[in-house]
Amino acid sequence: MTLAAATELAAGTNENLANISNVLIYSSMAVYTLAFFAHIAEWLFGSRSKVGRTAAALTADGAKKADGPAVTVQTAGGTAVLERPKVVVRAAAGARDVPDGPGAHGGDEQGDLYGRIAISLTVLAFAIEAGGVLTRALSVQRAPWGNMYEFNITFSSVAVGVYLVFLALRKNIRWLGLPLITTVLLDLGVAVTVLYTASDQLVPALHSYWLYIHVSTAILCGAVFYVGAVGTILYLFRDSYENKLATGGKPGRFASSVMERLPASASLDKFAYRVNAAVFPLWTFTIIAGAIWAGDAWGRYWGWDPKETWSFITWVAYACYLHARATAGWKGRKAAYIALIAFACWLFNYYGVNLFVTGKHSYAGV
């Protein structure tokens, strides 16, 4: 076989792998859509249960009992008992005791079934999407994050992977399923319609083993920061709901149905803080790795390029959040606002800088 024939064969193989990758990404979107509807069904069936009265009773008894009663569900064949919610206490001294909600299923057995179906579909979609990312990498014979399209499909798969790892560790975060799948579908929709870039080789500056180290850690950090941001947003809503109840207010029926099924605000606050604090050292390493790579590629470790600048701003924002969260006067909502500002900085660092700002990191490919 001549060199020209071998080159043509390799190009044909790479093109076929790229096409397979596209099919897998679209297939994963279809399965994610089914998971989305399953999560919707879980929340809808949960809203018809007696979760409101159960949660109200638990709230009334929360200051006296360490655990609330089990949630009893009437079924056609008899009675089923779901795991009882655990009462958690706010970190602030003298604050009220508030129980965790029973979950999106709201104590409804059929809602719980749809939730389990949604998780199974999410696992399947994750496997298909991971296959799409892998075949994309094989088609270009490099790491699959050389442009924004590849970064998007990799980022969404890693975000789902982080969620599934938490579930495998038996963390009570199934409430994250609906906002996560919604975000993933939006992310993939933008990727395949606006950001899509045909398989191609990297610019010379990216030909380095630091591509695997620096960008992979940035993707993982972004996925975990996203999980923390969702937890922070839900904390703010749940905290407002609890405050309204504590002051004698009467939230609307929809708000009550949703909020009473979520974990207590103290649990959401603790969860968001722990995931952000856990990944912050890795984000620090990401910036250091990027500086070392810049020294190899451009002969200088730091030049205040827009991407470098916003990476540093993001680091400072999360450092301020962690410092504020560890300071007694800045627990709760004030610290939560800083966390959301920090995540907004991360989002701008990726989308805003890549799409609207010109610099040495302008590899968007769109």
Amino acid 100: pLDDT: 83
| Residue 9, token pair as written in the block | 């064969």
Amino acid 201: pLDDT: 66
Chain mean position to CA 226: 4
Amino acid 87: pLDDT: 38
10, 98, 141, 189, 306 from 349: Cα distances, Å:
36, 37, 27, 20, 8
Q: Are 48 and 108 in contact (CB under 8 A)?
A: yes
Q: Are 175 and 260 in contact (CB under 8 A)?
A: no
Sign of torsion over alpha carbons 28, 33, 34, 39: positive
For residue range 70-91, list pLDDT tens digits in order.
Answer: 444 444 555 555 444 443 434 4
List the beta bridge partners of residue 284: none
For residue range 211-268, list pLDDT tens digits in order.
Answer: 888 889 999 999 999 999 999 999 999 999 998 888 888 888 888 888 888 899 989 9
For residue range 26-55, list pLDDT tens digits in order.
Answer: 999 999 999 999 999 999 887 765 544 454
**C-alpha dihedral, 72 to 75 to 79 to 82, nearest 10°:** -40
DSSP string, 67-122: BPPPEEEEETTEEEEEPPPBEEE-SSTTPPEEEPP--TTTT-HHHHHHHHHHHHHH
With pLDDT > 70 as the criterion, what percentage of the chain qualifies?
Answer: 78
pLDDT over 80 (residue 363)? no
For residue range 156-199, list pLDDT tens digits in order.
Answer: 999 999 999 999 998 888 899 999 999 999 999 999 998 888 87
300: region left, alpha or beta (phi > 0 left; psi from -120 to 50 alpha) = beta
| Cβ burial, residue 3 (10 Å; 0-12/13-18/19+) | exposed
Q: Which residues contact 13 (CB under 8 A, 6 or more apart)?
A: none
pLDDT over 50 (residue 313)? yes
Question: Smallest Cα–Cα separation from 153: which of 285, 21, 287, 272?
Answer: 21
Q: Are 206 and 214 in contact (CB under 8 A)?
A: no
Cα–Cα distance for residue pair 92/328, rounded to 1 Å? 9
308: region left, alpha or beta (phi > 0 left; psi from -120 to 50 alpha) = alpha
pTM of the model: 0.81
Amino acid 5: pLDDT: 46
Band of residue 307 on the pLDDT scale cut at 50, 70, 90: confident
Chain mean position to CA 239: 21
For residue range 101-138, list pLDDT tens digits in order.
Answer: 888 888 888 888 999 999 999 999 999 999 999 999 99
List the beta bridge partners of residue 78: 75
**Residue of 314 and 293 predicted with greater confidence:** 314
pLDDT over 70 (residue 338)? yes
Band of residue 25 on the pLDDT scale cut at 50, 70, 90: very high
Residue 273, number of CB atoms within 10 A of its CB: 23
